[in-house]
Structure 1
């Protein structure tokens, strides 16, 4: 029995979160959400209310214990942010094992239960079921089942599969205490160079809208409740049309443009998310440049700072009354080691942190992502610059989600059960099948695929683990000695490493270096060449078309999954969720906000061959 567990005189169990020996209305699981929120809000100090408005990064200590010193990215000891700053929302980064994650959740919830009103913690995460490892975007699966990136789910073109993935991922999240997903990412990646496409569902607005609904249904259920994972749908009003494809994490990528006039199309997945009662919405960092909507110029500031976007469009026009969580570090510069990333205060760079916070509150933001400067908000309240009623409005939305998730009634998890559920064999097998099936075959001359038919061939391979290949073929040390060659490569990008996080983002040109093209051509001169490209962004595949016997792309697949697809053991059935441009000239000439906007693509969206011939389109 935990310290806060009590029983009423009538024998009804409850959690005595404020330690007064009485079941107060907010502790009563029989009451409705609004009644419980009203009661708790009336009891909270301004310090406790203010803490609710912050959502920052947290890291797990060794063995699943609480980390009581700043981490690689987290700013403060755990006890300090929970007990002194009253924060109750944390985005968890590394998680080595399921048992460690579950143990840490229980320790964190015990710490929170010891605060004055025992408000439980909401643990959130960026996507963590695929392959990308980037602290600003997503995490590799680790102990969780591993699936293709969302762009690979889009390549499967199967709404039911998206729903099934979300149900499995949500079950694994809940097992370790993660109750909020900082996804789905439903941006339409219409600028081919944009570096965050792997986590999107492509740019066909009809399919993305359908998949958004399925994704939310899988994680949240028919309605938000104790079996749900609350979703923060992002990045409103659509982060895809970045100028020159540069990402808005960085000062050079702050501008978002709509030269084709397609702003409304980018809104469509969010309209569906609102219809499906998404628990939260996150605006993007980008600032619109030259955008005029319904005759009204839109202020050129980051979307979270824009009252026109958050209050007038999202709240009033689209009728959304859930939580608006800003993206990370909009108020203060982020210092990590000897690197710094300026606050993404695009369009309001000259404002002070105090003035930026006021702008965000006025725009309609409820929670400040990546920040823990509670003292700044309290100063604004003490000065009369922010009314307590304004704090209450956001606190109410935030508490409503906690109560609906059942966190006040039971925030703990079973550590043995977590170990059984997370990464269960059936979940891993389903993820691996999806990885293989999402492989998309774009070229297959002379029926090169399926590979490995007949006698055991000798294969010259690059980028494929020898142990994976050994299940299908013998290894050749040189192309001259091989029956066939298989080369796995990544989509090209321009390495950068000046600002914090920058090295993890793939940005810049989509052209492969000429030396690589020449080397692969030489391999193809000796034996049939199969090229497999990891497509985290569209790549200019044009140079490979004349000499490659087969070209396939994948969106997060292990060597084993790729070989299963190429052999036909798990038939590849992916179709391109985006165009593959013919040239960088075509990319530069395209309108950033227009789907299918590059002229004469070498492979069109929807292209996908079976290994026996073209799919019916």
Structure 2
């Protein structure tokens, strides 16, 4: 291959991006290039950017259009190499008419990797069915500050939960033949003050023990084939130019063999934002040297600037060879160079465009059923004074649904759903999927109740109180108020949650807390429901509301799931993947803090949460008993075994999540007070039913980065806490490790092993 042909495999082209009418990536319109396909294609093309996720298009017509483009690409270059087509799939395939699943924060709330794997496989099959090869998901960033706008895209604040759920998602996507993409590697979520793309202040130990473990787990266990670098820098080194990160750690140590792709325009940012490259050619060379293989979303630095740098001898051509080899191997693995490869999806073979419209269904009944199941498992009951469930003749005669999310169809969607990400800029286009509002879902759930509604606020972030009088009057005349609060997803300040929609504090947006207080002042019982992208401090409602039900953008079936939890048709089983703060300004907002990160006698601020990580109520009660520790003393290369019995002691079926936390009282470096090292979501238990839960816990799970910068296991006392949440330890096993300090590498054991066995009924 000529130099031009090799370079052509290393970039994408984003056709039609400038017609979107708004940014969907940082500095998008500052970075856009006028691309002449007739000039580019004779050399080949690496990637086609978002053929379905750029503008509304019927899926069948989009698939035929993509196939035509691929034939054009193949015919134009002398080797007949097709392009990879990639799409966003953070909460489902981001295409018009495709199922909008719950956002990743809701996946975390399920504590159910098996279900997430099924969902990802369905998303992957839909991507594959229309000719897409790569999905830009999942996000493995660990939440460090909930004010960050992209919290909704994350799985939670705990690295083990993030790693297990993300690994399952990758396994599902890859099982359908789609190249999954881990992002954002690494440290993006730890920006100062929760501001998007802000500087990151982080020590090496936090980076190694909090940020990296989810990526390591996914690389080792999922079969992932692509990684996307982060926008940010760590200690002055931008990820896109960090050879230690992208080559020495990712490839040489962890053994990753796939492609590293740029976050959109991230290579050019080495010059324009980070100031570590003097020209775009220098930026291209730095990224290639670090280990970036593909420039996305469109050619900027890997075009003429790279060619010029190679001609001048400042960038060696061998770097291009290395990246091109990785890209071509991935295309070969994906079957794009097979002799019988056909860009037209099998279901559309021989179909003309005039007959194709409407023939591809990306939101069929199986998808919706799966979306409903994920949504139902992700609903978290935070508090309940006994008002819920509204079942057995307890449904109020008159229910007032009040709040900015009462009648907003898109209130269930995150910023990377198609209707929000793209559709919001084409309001004349139908949504493409059925999105029942909360009022509609409640009307269907409670057919014998009168449902009345008013917004109270013009929008989620509205500050005007002119609608309060009507809301208060409606509340006083009702038997129950359901406060419909939360976020409006958007991009770069066009919402209250989402990329570039960072929060100054964790108060409810706009005047929502004032509205909530006014509703509680009426004396009518208030059930608070949240359709949100992050946790918020809820003020008086923590103590004074009848109940609080938290959802994190639960997708197209979200309001139906939420209504089902209120009625009792759905039994709540979600657990918090992020802590809910008691006060809007108390930081840190993550439970992963050392002793000095908790309340102390030398500060007047108590950062304790209102509801901690892992918290979630059910409509029943569980007794935990009969703790047995078979191994109380183990070598630093050994393991512990313990067991307990969990019994449903209430009157209705329910699901418990057993969480295992490790507390290390004395360590050579400061440790979090506790950290999650394992969990198991139990099968639903009937009243009186019990299971015996057994856990084998390898000593490797007690490892951390020591003073010398290497991961070690130290001898000493430990506590293994079997807990219902990070704030609810129920049974504590006091154990100890003996022997020498042991250094562990990247082949250490990553999981506790759980088994469950049915027990006799009480």
TM-score (norm 1): 0.78
Which residue number in structure 2 is paired with residue 315 of structure 1? 251
Which residue number in structure 2 is paired with residue 277 of structure 1? 223
Matched, 1:51 2:51: no
TM alignment of 1:85-484, pairs within 5 A: 86-92=44-50, 93-94=53-54, 95-116=56-77, 117-127=79-89, 129=91, 142-221=96-175, 227-248=176-197, 253-258=198-203, 261-275=206-220, 276-289=222-235, 300-332=236-268, 346-348=273-275, 351-373=278-300, 374-409=303-338, 410=341, 411-414=343-346, 416=348, 419-420=359-360, 422-450=362-390, 453-454=393-394, 457-462=397-402, 463-465=405-407, 466-471=439-444, 472=446, 473-476=449-452, 478-484=474-480
Q: Please, which moves more after superposition, 350-359 or 76-85?
A: 76-85
Across the two proteins, how many residue pairs are aligned to each other? 529
**Deviation, structure 1 residue 555:** 1.4
**Deviation, structure 1 residue 154:** 1.1
Which residue number in structure 2 is paired with residue 543 of structure 1? 540
Which residue number in structure 1 is paired with residue 525 of structure 2? 528
> Aligned-residue CA RMSD in angstroms?
3.4
**Which whole-Å deviations, capped at 9, do the CAs of 1:214-273 have from their partners, x for residues lacking one?**
22221113xxxxx5100111111343222111111xxxx133424973533321121122
**Deviation, structure 1 residue 87:** 2.6
Contact 1:49 1:392 in 2 (8 A): yes
Q: 1:55 to 1:496 in 2, by over 3 A?
A: closer
Aligned partners of 1:197 and 1:228: how far apart in 2? 28
* Ranges in structure 1 where 5+ consecutive residues have no aligned partner: 1-43, 63-70, 131-138, 222-226, 290-299, 333-341
**Which whole-Å deviations, capped at 9, do the CAs of 1:253-298 have from their partners, x for residues lacking one?**
1334249735333211211222233111112111113xxxxxxxxx
Local SS of the residue matching 1:315: helix
TM-score (norm 2): 0.64
Q: Larger relative contact order (C-alpha < 8 A, sep ≥ 6)?
A: 1
Which residue number in structure 2 is paired with residue 40 of structure 1? none
Q: 1:596 to 1:445 in 2, by over 3 A?
A: farther
Which residue number in structure 2 is paired with residue 27 of structure 1? none
**Which whole-Å deviations, capped at 9, do the CAs of 1:291-333 have from their partners, x for residues lacking one?**
xxxxxxxxx121111222222222323232321112121344x
Q: 1:56 to 1:272 in 2, by over 3 A?
A: farther
Aligned partners of 1:344 and 1:606: how far apart in 2? 42
Return the structure number with greater strand share.
2
Which residue number in structure 1 is paired with residue 577 of structure 2? 577
Aligned partners of 1:330 and 1:592: how far apart in 2? 30
Return the structure number with greater helix share.
1
Which residue number in structure 2 is paired with residue 31 of structure 1? none
